[in-house]
């Protein structure tokens, strides 16, 4: 069963994919509605809901972002990974990195460092991985396209977005 009844969250990735299709139009409308709201109040509400929801979701039983998304990689990330993996920075580049329009990303999906839904370089993972799903950041309203993209991938984003609709009485 897809709904976790204890905490009232939707955690089943297949069910989330189905709901994403069903709610596509409504989410576009909700995005337009949010654009008319006070950005600071929305940030405050999203950050509060995010703390509540992310504390109830165990990423080590999910790993979906590491299967579906390629994180942005900085020079500092490469330096840290080279130390962690005991490889030269050039070797890390050759083995793990691709360049797209001048920006660096991991090249493999699922991520080469994901094993049984867990990150094998967790303490040395890239900054973009640490920050994902970015719901703690300010300017939520100006990042809505990215949020809606991640809504279909990440149960934290999905549940925060749905809770936000409820709290704003957006039926």
Site membership for ligand SF4, residue 93 (CB under 6 A): no
Q: Is 57 in the site for ligand SF4 (CB under 6 A)?
A: yes
My answer on whether omega of the bond before 110 falls inside 30° of 0, hence cis, is yes
Shortest Cβ distance from residue 38 to ligand SF4 (Å)? 27
Q: How far apart are CA 131 and CA 1, in angstroms?
A: 30
Question: Pattern 62-81, binding to ligand SF4, x per CB under 6 A?
Answer: xxxxx----x----------
Return the ∠ at Cα 50 (arms to 48 and 153), rounded to 5°: 160
Helix, strand, coil abundance in the chain, percent, nearest 5? 55, 10, 35
Q: Compute how many residues bind ligand SF4; rule: CB under 6 A.
A: 22
Q: Give the up-direction half-sphere exposure of residue 92: CA atoms within 13 A in the CB hemisphere.
A: 22
**Alpha-carbon gap, residue 171 to 168, rounded angstroms:** 9
Q: x/- contact string, 122-141, with ligand SF4 (CB under 6 A)?
A: ---xx--x--xx--------
Which member of 156, 159, 160, 162 binds ligand SF4 (CB under 6 A)?
156
- Binding ligand SF4 (rule: CB under 6 A), the pick from 34, 73, 97, 111 is 111
Q: Rounded to an integer, what distance in angstroms lies between the CA atom of residue 140 and that of residue 112?
A: 30
Q: Cβ of residue 57: shortest distance to ligand SF4, in angstroms? A: 5
9 binds ligand SF4 (CB under 6 A): no
Phi-psi bin for 34: left (phi > 0), alpha (psi -120 to 50), beta?
alpha
Sole window of 16-24, 95-103, 106-114, 140-148 interacting with ligand SF4 (rule: CB under 6 A)? 106-114
Binding positions for ligand SF4, rule: CB under 6 A: 57, 59, 62-66, 71, 111, 113-114, 119, 121, 125-126, 129, 132-133, 153-156
């Amino acid at each position: 069963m897809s709904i976790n009844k204890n905490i009232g969250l939707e955690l089943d990735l297949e069910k989330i994919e189905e709901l994403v299709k069903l709610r596509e139009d409504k989410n576009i409308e909700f995005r337009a509605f949010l654009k008319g709201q006070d950005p600071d109040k929305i940030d405050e509400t999203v950050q509060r809901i995010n703390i509540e929801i992310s504390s109830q979701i165990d990423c080590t039983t999910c790993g979906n972002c590491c299967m579906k998304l390629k994180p942005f990689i900085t020079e500092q990330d490469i330096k840290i990974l080279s130390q962690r993996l005991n490889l030269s920075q050039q070797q890390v580049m050759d083995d793990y990195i691709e360049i797209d329009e001048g920006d660096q990303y991991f090249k493999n999906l699922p991520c080469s460092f994901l094993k049984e839904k867990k990150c094998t370089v967790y303490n040395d993972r890239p900054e973009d991985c640490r920050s994902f799903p970015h719901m703690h950041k300010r300017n939520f309203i100006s990042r809505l396209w990215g949020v809606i993209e991640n809504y279909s991938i990440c149960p934290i984003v999905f549940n925060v977005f749905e809770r936000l609709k409820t709290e704003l009485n957006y039926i």
